[in-house]
Amino acid sequence: MKLSSYEIHCHLLPGVDDGFRDESSSLKAIGRMMEEGTRSIVFTPHMNPDVYPDTTEALLQDTYASFREKLPSGLETHLAAEYMVVNGFDDRVAEHPESLLVFPDNSILVEMSYYFRSQNLESTIFNLNMAGFHPILAHPERYLYMADCLKDFDKIADMGCRFQMNLMSLTGKYGKDSIRILKYLLGKGMYSFAATDLHSNPQLDSILAAKVPLLLRRGVRALIEG
């Protein structure tokens, strides 16, 4: 599978979440990604107070400041985050938007649990837009509970939220419901990004070795090359 030259979702910032544990394994993956054509990486460590209560934006910024000195030349990087839409996140967006780690163009990556829908997703999207951000929902095809309400994605998109596909989802690894969601969004041209959501070197091996199913190839090519 080909990688996007602009990687917008990965856990390559070492030692801060369930992604890469140390700098050397992360640098190894980054080197391989550059060989595969990646030119720019936005680091998006998890920000989820339920799972990582001690992780703050300041901690991530410090980690990034020391890691970026070791990054290869010719690679553009930026620190953002993957925000879990937990209860109260919408309030935080409304009250302290300046504290959020966002992309250079003010895009912001958000995710929901794989098990249940965030009741405040809509108000979070609204508040993010009000604060001048451009929300991107990470891997919608992994929220299997959405497979029976696909039209809700249209409403979410109409609210001003874009969607990012995980490359590994194309293999069918996450089951029939995931493929149903993926085909719906891909068929309607609703994905804006394809990314690795990379957590480890073995996962990178799997992505690079995987083949995009023939039927989905055209839509995916447009995403990666676009």
Query: Which residue has the closest beta carbon to Fe ion?
Result: 197
Report d(CA 181, CA 184) in Å as an integer.
5
Nearer to Fe ion, 7 or 82 (CB): 82
Cβ at position 185, least distance to Fe ion in Å = 17
Taking CB under 5 A as the rule, which mask of x and - marks residues 58-87 in contact with Fe ion? ------------------------x-----
Report d(CA 201, CA 204) in Å as an integer.
5
Task: Identify which range of 28-36, 52-60, 120-128, 195-203 contacts Fe ion by CB under 5 A.
Answer: 195-203
One residue of 197, 212, 220, 223 binding Fe ion per CB under 5 A: 197
3-state secondary structure (DSSP) of residue 201: helix
Cβ at position 11, least distance to Fe ion in Å = 6
Give 82's contacts (C-beta < 8 A, 6+ positions apart): 9, 44, 45, 46, 47, 109, 110, 111, 138
Report d(CA 179, CA 225) in Å as an integer.
22
Cβ at position 114, least distance to Fe ion in Å = 11
Nearer to Fe ion, 112 or 128 (CB): 112
Distance of alpha carbon 98 from the chain centroid: 20
Q: Which residues bind Fe ion (CB under 5 A)?
A: 82, 197
